[in-house]
Every structure is written in C-alpha cells, then in structure tokens.
C-alpha cells in the first residue's frame, strides 16, 4: 500500500540532530516530516555530556533549564576515571568541577566566559525526549518504522 505525503522538508533520522532540525524548522512554520526506523527516542545511555554551544542553542529555544534539571545534580562529581575494569585498578582520573563549582568559578573569572551557557552532564536519552516533545508541534507527521522506499 502506498501512502502519499506532501511536505516541505523530509528529515531522515530522529536522533538529536534530526529532532533539533525539526525544532528549528517548526518554529519557522516550515512543515516537516521526520522519518525514523526506531520506535521512539533513545532508551539506553548513549552520549552523556552536552557541550556549552549546544546548551546555548537549547537556551535560545527555551529549554536549557529543562535539560539542566534532567542531568546530574549541581553538587554531583563529574570526574572522568579510567579503570582496568568496573571495580578494578584506577589508571587515571580527570578531575572536573561539579556544576555548582563551575558556575562559581565562572563568576570569579576576570574577563568573560566564552559561552553563554556551561556544559552539562546529561544522558542523550533525556535530551532526545525533551527535543521530541518540543519538536512535536512543528511536525505535521512523524513516521516511526522502517521505511523501505521513498520516491
């Protein structure tokens, strides 16, 4: 059975990039169709950090605070440790400030921080859910199943 759909923009892939594009286009009144083989947003941990520039875009779109509430608490350690195995010998550690410490450091800096937002530790599965919810208004259709052929 064929199903004809007309759209201004076809977005292939419903990961962070496709969902962000759907948000941007939807806010400009551009009708888009998002096609994704996955049944929904990410359900297992994937990316676990969102960089400052990405957080700036989330801020511009109005949901940076929502993303921050979903990530690590402000006082949670963010160190990166390398171990021989899960409970094994620690090989190296990159010490990073907690989110609260980072905010405090930026406030005491002379000059200016180069970004309007700080990076944030949050799993992609939470970010995708927020992006999907906000993109929903701009999508005129969302196909979530394997698409075999487009003409």
Mark 90-113 as b/e (b = at least 16 C-beta within 10 Å): eeeeeeeebbeebeeeeeeeeeee
Q: Where exactly are the structural domains of the chain? A: 1-48+123-151, 65-122
Q: Which two tokens stand for residue 21?
A: 């594009």
The CATH number given to 1-48+123-151 is 3.50.50.60
Q: Is the pLDDT of residue 40 over 80?
A: no
Q: Is the pLDDT of residue 134 over 70?
A: yes
Total-model pTM: 0.78
**Per-residue confidence (pLDDT) for residue 37, from 0 to 100:** 80
Establish how many alpha carbons lie within 13 A of residue 3's alpha carbon, considering only the half-sphere containing its beta carbon: 6
Percent of residues, the chain, with pLDDT higher than 70 = 85
Task: Quote the mean pLDDT of the chain.
Answer: 83
- State pLDDT tens for residues 119-131: 889 999 999 999 9
Which is it for strands 139-144 and 32-36: parallel, antiparallel or unpaired?
Answer: parallel
Q: How far apart are CA 99 and CA 78, in angstroms?
A: 8
- State pLDDT tens for residues 54-106: 999 999 999 998 998 898 888 998 888 999 998 889 999 999 888 888 878 77
């Amino acid at each position: 059975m064929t199903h004809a759909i007309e759209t201004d923009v076809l977005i292939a892939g419903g990961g962070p990039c496709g969902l962000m594009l759907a948000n941007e286009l939807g806010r400009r009144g551009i009708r888009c169709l998002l096609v994704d083989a996955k049944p929904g947003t990410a359900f297992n941990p994937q990316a676990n950090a969102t960089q400052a520039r990405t957080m700036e875009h989330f801020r511009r779109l109005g949901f940076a605070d929502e993303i921050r509430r979903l990530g690590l608490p402000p006082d949670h350690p963010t160190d990166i440790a390398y171990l021989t195995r899960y409970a094994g010998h620690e090989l190296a550690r990159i010490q990073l400030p907690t989110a609260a410490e980072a905010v405090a450091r930026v406030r005491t800096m002379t000059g200016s921080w180069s970004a309007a937002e700080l990076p944030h530790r949050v799993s992609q599965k939470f970010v995708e859910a927020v992006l999907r919810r906000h993109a929903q208004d701009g999508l005129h259709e969302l196909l979530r199943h394997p698409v075999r052929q487009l003409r």
